[in-house]
Chain A
């Protein structure tokens, strides 16, 4: 069965610090997708990134970067020079794609608090 582990329940940093959110996943499939979502205090879920299992290139988008390593089954998320607006709960998720049985499994989330 697929599983996503976000071991960090809560992280607090001071603005401008870099912070890395860890995500470890388990799957028996060779084809799968990994995601990160942000849930700000307002409650909506905001899509950040999708990565398929065949693409191990790291990705950078502004202050955000993602490190995908199949060898360690990890898909970590780094925020550089954090800002107060980054305060949110961040979810890592895994979707196996076995025919028509596509299911998205979320980790339990990491709450990031950025203070001045």
Chain B
């Protein structure tokens, strides 16, 4: 029962490097999203998608890129890492219809440090 799988769990980058955080879900959920969690700020929405081929910006999209080529996968790309992107990143998915509408299933989180 995989649910939402995020990789890697930990990553250290140097300023200017690029990387991709992977997220996959096996629940056939339409909605997928990426959040970052910083101390005292809760979770802030970076990007989200309501289906394959459809993405949109959240509250803090700058410096991040996403694509949704399949229902299952929603990778988050850091184009040129900056120390301000040091954070814990969570991927989530949910159904947009039915009795569980909106209930987010979260991955375990990815802790990213940018030096």
Q: Which of B12-20, B66-74, B98-106 is the interface stretch?
A: B98-106
The chain B residue with its CB closest to the CB of A89 is B42
The 8 Å CB contact of B54, one of A6, A47, A52, A100, is A100
What is the minimal beta-carbon distance from A102 to any residue of chain B, in angstroms? 6
Q: Which residues of the partner chain B approach A37 to less than 8 Å between Cβ atoms?
A: 104
Query: In terms of DSSP, what is the predominant structure of the interface of chain A?
Result: strand
A interface residues, how many (CB within 8 angstroms): 25
| Measured CA separation A101–B102 after assembly (Å) | 12
Other A-B pairs, 4, CB within 8 Å; known A93-B104, A101-B56: A97-B101, A104-B33, A104-B102, A106-B44
Residues of B whose CB lies within 8 Å of any CB of A are 31, 33, 35, 40-45, 48, 50-51, 54, 56, 58-59, 88, 90, 92, 96, 100-106, 108-109
